[in-house]
Structures are given as C-alpha cells and as structure tokens.
Chain A
C-alpha cells in the first residue's frame, strides 16, 4: 500500500512539531526516519498512524485521505509498534500478540484457530515462540520489543509504523529485526537512531530536524558527512565498507560549537553554502 504524506503540519503540547513535511512512500518501501531527539519523528509517525490529527496537510493511503477512515479501518491498514506500554494489569505474551487480531474480529468473538496460528507464527518469526506463556512484564527489554513486533505482524496490515523498534535490542537482534522488517513485503516507516544500521536496512532515508524534512532519498545520497554535521552536530568520516563497498560513517567528535551559538540545545541549521564551503 502506498503512503503519501502531503504538506503535513502537526502540533504537540501546543507547539508546532512538524512543519510542511511531504514524503511519498511507494508500496513495499522501507523508509527510515532519522533525526536528533525532538526532531519530530514520533509525531510524524503518530500522524501517519492516525493517533494524532495533523493541524494541516494530509496523509493518504493508496490515495485515500486517512481522515475519512474509521479507527477500525485504519487499524486494518496500519500497525504501530511504539514504546508506550501500560503495566497495571498483567497479560501473557500470546494474549498480547493476539490483541493484533482485534481489528479483524467483532464483539465478544473468541480467538479463532486462524488467529492463534497467526500469532504463534509471528512469535516464531521474531524468535520468541518460547515466550508464549510468559507474562509480558517478566520479559527483558529486547524480548518485549520482539513480542511487540510480533503483535504488529499479527495485525496483518499492509503498512507498518515502527518507532525506534531496535531500542534495547542487542546487535544480533537489531540486525535480525531489521532483516525481518525488510523481508516483509509491507510498506514500512521506521524511526531509527543508528545511521549505519538505517543505511543498511532501508530503501530510502528521510532526515528530520526541528520538524522539517531536510533530506530524502537513497541512503548513500542522504547520509553525507556535511548533513551529519549540520543535523546532529557531529564530525564524521565516510569510508567504504571493505566487504560490501557500501558507504559507512565513522563518528569522530561533536562539532565545535559555533562562535555565535549559545550551547548545543538549538544549533542553527547551516545553509547549503556553509555546508559545502567549511
């Protein structure tokens, strides 16, 4: 399913967090969203998943404006994996994964064999089948991430929205999870923090800073050292990976603060000229 974000503007807590962002995401593409903390990645993903209404602009799924879709219709199109989880009441892992079937069922409906086998298959795919009967809160951070991803898979939607899915995962599980994401033929929007991991796993990269989309394109075009400096304030060196030949960034140090700047909290974003002529 194709996702189009058009001139999106979004507020959070009375503040404009996203300004005029337009991103076309062709069907089956994995789009990585990068940007410093507070750059608006989560807010953008919330708007795409219909959890927060944009203040201007629109999101289309295959041309349909998502504001015309009911919550249930949305839940059949997009599954969300986010950080939030309430733990007041305990729930076994399989039950948690089965929640993904809610938009496909009705009323009192008991879980069908089909539902249960989908959930178990998803758990097997993320390597968490052995956790099936464990209470969710007894899991480690990495196990939780995998179970939440299994729930998103069980929801069986053409679009996946993943907000920092690799948090708390060890390197093997990070690679494994992103390979799983790649292997699904779904349209994926994923917020990540690791630039090299994003370059390795995504078809396209969008870079956000202060709520604006600064760059969008193939990983190798987007992830340049000047962009890393201007967006993250970090000096880096680009090298070719000796095996794959893919561009890889080595991080050297934080960029020295600009003489005019007052601390790193709100670094001014340099213009194109500043970047190309240091």
Chain B
C-alpha cells in the first residue's frame, strides 16, 4: 500500500518535473500562472529555468550528434543521427538499405557515441555531486572532490599501475573506485562526531586526507618506471577517450539513482540553505539528509572517477553557473546544473578531440581553459550578486 502511494507520488512528481521544463507550459493540473507580480529575482529565475532547460536539452542533443560525426572516418551529422536513431528504434529502413557503411556504423555506435555519452554522464554527475556537496556543507567552495574522492581514486589507480598488475582500463577503474570509496569512508568517519556530521570538520578532514593521498600518489609516480608515468598522467588528468558501452553502466546507474534522490529532496535542500536549525524546524531530518547527500555525491563521483579519471572544475563551477542563472532554489537549479554539466563536458570533449587534431588535449586541461574564462565573465555580472557571490 505504502509502496503504491509512493509510486503514484513518483509519477506525479515526474509529471510536474516534465511540465516545469516545457517552455511556458502549464502543468497537467492546469494551474494558472502564480499570482506573483512579474519581474524580480524569483520570477526571473522561474522564467529563466523554463527557457534554459529545453534549450540545454536541445543543445546537448546537437553536441552529441555533431561530436559523433567528427573523426577520421567520414560521417555527416545527418548520417550520425541516423545511425543513433537506427540502433535505438528497430526497423529503420536506412539501417539495411546500404546507404551507411559498416565502418561508419561502427565508428559512430561503437567508438564515438560511448565516449560522448560518457562525457555527458560524467558532466551531469559531477555537476549534481557538486551541487549536493555545496548545499550540505554550507560552503560555496565545496566540490565533488572535497571528500578526498579523486585523491583516493588516484592512489588506487596509481598503485594498480605501479604494482604492475596491468594497465587495463577496467582494472585501473576498479582500483580507482575502491580507492575513492575508501577515502570517502575515511573522511566521513573522521567528520562524524556525537552522532552529527559537522560541515566544517568534513571539509577540513577532506582537505587533509586529500593532501595525504596526493602525496602518496606523487611519491608513487616519481619512483616508478618511466613507462608507467604516461598511464598515470593520463588517468590523473581525466579522459573519456577509452570509453565503451560497458563503461557507461556504473556512472549511468549512479546518475539515475542520485538524480531521483535529489529530485525528492530538492525542497529539503532549499531549507538547508538557511541553516541546520531552521531546516530542522521546517521538518527536515538534517542529519539523515546530510549523510544521504554525502553518500550520493560520493557514489556519483566515485563511479565517474573510476571510468574517466579526475575531471576537475565541472563540479565546482557548473552549480554556481546554474545558481547565477536561475537562482538557488534546487527545484530549478538542479535540472539546469545537470543538463549544463552534460553540455559543458560534451563540448569540452568535442574541442579536446578537434582543436589539436590529430593529437588530443587532456579533458581536464580543456575544462579549465574553457570554463574558467566563461565563469569569470559570469562572476562579474550583477546577476551574480543576487545569489550571494558579491559578498
């Protein structure tokens, strides 16, 4: 019975979520536009979210198609779109009439698409993890790696390579995931005291443990054989280039689960923005929300780090960009951050492949080179002051 009620609630919420993303669309319930006067911070944010969400979704689709059509094998964007559609929808005529070669089909479906989707998933996951972290630790400098996740993953991956077990991407990924989970568990345990996780202690424990792990990684890197260093740097700088469909399972599952979790706790996260006591008096179980969100963020970050290494900057910056454009209400900000992260990272990956063709620029280098100027420009705008950046 409780299960059934819950299910209905889920679908109702999803409908509302979908309705709110339709440009100017009224929800299925047919409620008229709120009585609040137009203009002002709040209304502006609502309007911006209604426009931005579909725009970002279309942009993402465009970047995915464009990105899958670029490479050594000649494929036009239209052909790429047909390959993708043909694999998703059975019985498409162009899949069997010989208009597409097997080489084209393989290039798009086997090699380029997994990589592009991994970039989108990683971007969305890191942005969501960052937004969760910033809300639950009350700190705008928080980011997914603050729990020591990337440092722990680094130690895991580098140990795996240095110990000579091999350089297979799945092995390195597994070791990285283990390292990430170990680090997160350690930070979490250290920050836990008297049945409560103090945000400040969490940040400091994460920074300290991160420094420790980074030192171990550096030591291992400097003392290992020269031929291992390239593999290590490749992992530490982050890359989605080796992706296969198999790599997508873990981060996609994590993104789906945590995305639903975040949607159901969006209002509670809003309450947390004004302080722990205030949130508690509004009926939010603060400790449970904080633990839940931390585990969720660690799961996202760990699963992304395991398959693509440490991609910096996305998790810190994208949530801020979302806040500056649509305000700090998580019901608007999370969908924008999620899609924004996906668009940002797929774009960066596209540029990483094309700018220095035929060689490739590490993804972590591009995220900072593309993201930092854009973010700094946004930071200077008045709009940023209204979300508290100007203090």
Q: Given A88-B138, A116-B34 in contact, is the A109-B283 Cβ separation under 8 Å?
A: no
On whether A95 and B270 interact (CB within 8 A), knowing A110-B27, A116-B35, the answer reads yes
Assess whether A80 is interfacial by the CB under 8 Å rule: yes
Contact A133:B40 (CB < 8 A) given known A82-B277, A108-B16, A113-B34: yes
CA distance A199 to B155 in the complex (A): 66
The answer to whether B9 and A106 touch across the interface, beta carbons within 8 angstroms, is yes
A85 to B273, CA, bound (A): 9
When distances are taken between beta carbons in the complex, the residues of chain A under 8 Å from B283 are: 71-76, 102-103
A53 to chain B, nearest CB (A): 11
Specify which of A87, A95, A102, A108 lies most central, judged by the most chain B CB atoms within 10 Å of its CB.
A108
Contact residues in A for B271 (Cβ distance below 8 Å): 99, 102
Q: A108-B331, A120-B36 are in contact. Are A85 and B275 (CB under 8 A)?
A: yes
A82 CB contact (under 8 Å) in B43, B267, B273, B278: B278
Question: Which of these, B32, B273, B278, B285, contacts A71 with CB under 8 Å?
Answer: B285
Partner of A92, one of B41, B267, B331: B41
Q: Inside 8 A of A105's CB, which chain B residues have their CB?
A: 267
Within 8 A of B (CB), among A235-272: none
Q: Verify if B281 is at the interface (C-beta below 8 Å from A).
A: yes
A106 to chain B, nearest CB (A): 6
From residue 14 to 39 of chain B, which have CB atoms closer than 8 A to chain A?
16-17, 20, 27, 31-32, 34-37, 39
B71 at the interface (CB under 8 A from A): no
Q: Which residues of A contact B27 (CB under 8 A)?
A: 110
Q: Are the CB atoms of B267 and A108 closer together than 8 Å?
A: yes
B376-391: CB near A (< 8 Å → 1, else 0) gives 0000000000111001
A108 to B270 CA separation, bound complex (whole angstroms):
11
With an 8 A cutoff between CB atoms, is B284 at the interface?
yes
Find residues 301-351 in chain B having any chain A CB closer than 8 Å to their own CB: 323, 327-329, 331
Q: How far, in angstroms, from A116 to B32 measured CA to CA in the complex?
A: 12
B252-278 CB contacts (< 8 Å) to partner A: 263-264, 266-268, 270-271, 273-278
Q: Select from chain B the residue with minimum beta-carbon distance to A90.
A: B388
**Which of B37, B40, B267 has the most chain A CB atoms inside 10 A of its CB?**
B267
Residue of B35, B37, B277, B283 with most partner-chain A CB within 10 A: B283
B139 at the binding interface (Cβ < 8 Å): yes
Contact between A80 and B388, CB atoms less than 8 A apart? no
On chain B, the residues within 8 Å of A50 by CB distance are 280-281
B104 interface hit (Cβ, 8 Å): no
Tell me whether A184 is interfacial, beta carbon within 8 Å.
Answer: no
What residues on A are CB-neighbors of B224 within 8 Å? Answer: none
Q: Which residues of A contact B327 (CB under 8 A)?
A: 92, 95
Q: Assess whether A89 is in contact with B328, with CB atoms less than 8 Å apart.
A: yes
The 4 A-B residue pairs whose C-beta atoms are closest, nearest first, are A133-B40, A75-B283, A90-B388, A103-B283
27 contacts between A and B (CB under 8 A): A51-B277, A51-B280, A51-B281, A71-B283, A75-B281, A78-B281, A80-B278, A82-B278, A82-B281, A84-B278, A85-B274, A86-B275, A90-B388, A92-B42, A94-B36, A95-B327, A95-B329, A99-B274, A107-B9, A108-B263, A108-B264, A109-B13, A109-B267, A110-B20, A116-B34, A120-B36, A135-B388
